[in-house]
Amino acid sequence: LITAKGHANLHAQSGDVEIVGDKNVRVYASKEKLTATAKEEMLLTCGGAYIRLKGGQIEIHAPGKLSVKGSNYSFDGPASMPTPDRQFPNGVCESCMLKALESGSPFAAKTN
């Protein structure tokens, strides 16, 4: 999926989205930031270790060594950040679908 101009969205409006790679899966934000957001829970796992963010709690578990390094540490009191509420569009752009059908394109580009 490539867009030369503007942005691209991938939606599963009533189900899951899965991205699977036999070897490597990479996600890049080459100029600014990468944001991952989940309403209920985020879970990173590898080699029996995991980091879970759920219910305002953070769990870090490892079957081996846990290493934390830095020139300075700050363990201040609690803080939070609200989770943005993402809404899916209602319905489909019928004129966009018809235009894609007429052109033979498998993708319907929504134009405003």
- Domain ranges for the chain, please list them: 36-65
Measure the CA–CA gap between 79 and 47, rounded to whole angstroms: 30
Structure tokens of 13?
A: 């409006």
More confident residue, 77 or 86: 77
Parallel, antiparallel or unpaired: strands 49-54 and 41-46: antiparallel
Q: 0.75 exceeded by the pTM?
A: no
Q: For the purposes of burial, counting CB atoms within 10 Å of the CB of 77, is it exposed (0-12), middle (13-18) or buried (19 or more)? A: exposed
Predicted confidence (pLDDT) per residue in 27-62, tens digit: 888 888 988 988 899 999 999 999 999 999 999 999
Which range among 16-25, 52-61, 70-79, 82-91 shows the weakest confidence by mean pLDDT?
82-91
Q: Which helix (H) or strand (E) holds 94?
A: helix 94-103
Measure the CA–CA gap between 83 and 36, rounded to whole angstroms: 10
